[in-house]
A = this chain, B = another copy of it.
């Protein structure tokens, strides 16, 4: 029996889900939905069709789980509650501050329809959240740290591109090795923003622009760069193309906690991701979550859930006995 997946939105994330389906023998791509003209969208899977977003509702009986691959700023707040009326689904909503609000809207919608929705699947929120939860539950006396990078921050790259005279830019968030080592050594320091991460920028300037002015505008930009040590490199378009076309990311979740009657023993739990492709890894989490959604829905669960609510075995195509024999 195969789980039929629908992809809503065919950008980096949607294409990543399509690639992940190729690696999963218990899944198949049923359809891709796009806001563009379907004639202009060519996908990689010969057996699947491309349809207009408006056609999704007619195809509810052909799709077991819909994976929403839109953005968190404007797409998902509207789409997830809407499609939860007809589909079991999963999204990667990642605006941390608005998760409770998003959750409530989706929960209302999915409870009304009797469907199951999982929101905020990915790596942060997602696998990082799970690791924060497990680690804090095991070691209640302690401190948790999240470090991001080394990786491309889309938001910071965009902020640089908005500066006058900038043709292209790529910003890497880099965790500071000193800070990581301090946490790993069992200390529980409180860091300033500057002490945790460094920002490294690669910028292509327009011909004849004042590079000093651009650099100054970058490093003094409030919220984005002013609170950090920021390094700016001016490079050519060719160098940008050659050296910075990937979308790597990753990071660390570290919990340092104490046990013992007098809290005499220190334990460090560290979870680390090194990702060649931020969107493809997120897509891979989305697809494994779609498998879990399918099973939880089959077991009669409805409403909105997060990764916190999913028994881990549901992510795997293997059955309980196989998991206990080979992975436990």
A-to-B contact residues, CB < 8 Å: 16, 18-20, 22-24, 44, 96, 99-100, 103, 120, 125, 127, 129-134, 136-141, 184, 259-261, 265-277, 280-281, 283-285, 288, 291, 306-313, 315-317, 320-321, 323-325, 327-328
Contact = CB atoms under 8 A, between A and B. Distances in A.
Contact of A138 (B266, B285, B310, B323): B285
Contacts of A184: 274
A23 B267 contact: no
B311 A309 contact: yes
B24 A100 contact: no
Given A265-B280, A266-B276, A127 B120 contact: no
24 contacts: A23-B140, A24-B140, A99-B325, A99-B328, A100-B325, A120-B328, A127-B134, A133-B323, A136-B327, A137-B288, A137-B312, A137-B316, A259-B276, A259-B284, A267-B280, A267-B281, A268-B273, A270-B270, A271-B272, A308-B324, A309-B311, A309-B320, A310-B311, A310-B312
Most central of A140, A272, A308, A328 by chain B CB within 10 Å: A328
Interface SS of A by simple majority:
helix
Nearest to A246: B265
Nearest to A22: B261
A267 B272 CA distance: 11
A145 to B, nearest CB: 13
B267 A274 contact: yes
Given A133-B312, A312-B312, 19 more contacts: A19-B260, A99-B325, A100-B324, A127-B269, A130-B134, A133-B327, A137-B291, A138-B288, A138-B315, A265-B275, A267-B274, A267-B275, A270-B272, A271-B271, A272-B272, A308-B312, A309-B311, A310-B311, A311-B311
A269 B277 contact: no
